Structure 1
Amino acid sequence: MRSAVKAAIDAVDVEGLLEGGAPEDEYAPEIQDLAGRIVAAGGVDRDLVRQVWSHWFGTPSRMTEEKADEVVRLVERRLAG
């Protein structure tokens, strides 16, 4: 689960931190939190992604509905194999 979430979060790079040269593990706390919540909820959706992002980065968040949908799509695709 964690690797699927990491791949999705890194690909979307909502905050632009990786593109800006941040370390590969820059989003590690957010990834761990989101992966745990996905397991607990039994799935991932836009609201869950945005909740986690707002928790870590505050509100308003750069995690738009469109970006959250992209994270969901990438996580689901990765988990499907």
Structure 2
Amino acid sequence: MTDDQLAVAVRALINRYDPEGLLGMGAPDDEYDPEVGDLVALVCGREEITADAVGSVWNRWFNDVSDWCTRRPEQVREVAAALENLRGRRQRSDLAC
């Protein structure tokens, strides 16, 4: 999995959930790209990707005004697990970030 493929996969994951409902209101597909960049960095990091780590990224970008993490904690856990899965796929392909 190349860097570009990783970014596309993370964007697709976040867009599928549309945590803030922005895409549903007509925002462009790249609306969450700043957050995606930080989530890609988690995939490239060494620490386990937890719901807390995902929530930290999310809250940093939304200045703690987002309620996604408290409103849909199961989605945040699913995103964290999917990001861990992407990390494993990346590692199996022996591609470093």
TM-score by length of 1: 0.79
Native 8 Å contact 1:4 1:75 kept in 2: no
| Per-residue deviation, residues 16-69 of structure 1 (Å, max 9, x unmatched) | 001110011000100011111221135422111100000000214322222211
Runs of 4+ in 1 over 4 A off after TM superposition: 76-81
Aligned positions of 1:3-22 closer than 5 A: 3-22=8-27
Native 8 Å contact 2:43 2:83 kept in 1: no
Q: What is the count of residue pairs matched by the alignment?
A: 81
- Runs of 5+ unmatched residues, structure 1: none
Query: What is the Cα-based RMSD across aligned positions, in Å?
Result: 2.1
Equivalent-residue separation in structure 2 for 1:14 and 1:53 (angstroms) = 9
Equivalent-residue separation in structure 2 for 1:23 and 1:10 (angstroms) = 10
Structure number with greater Rg is 2
Aligned positions of 1:40-79 closer than 5 A: 40-64=45-69, 65-76=73-84
- Runs of 5+ unmatched residues, structure 2: 1-5, 90-97
Identity percentage of aligned residues: 37
Equivalent-residue separation in structure 2 for 1:42 and 1:72 (angstroms) = 12
TM-score by length of 2: 0.68
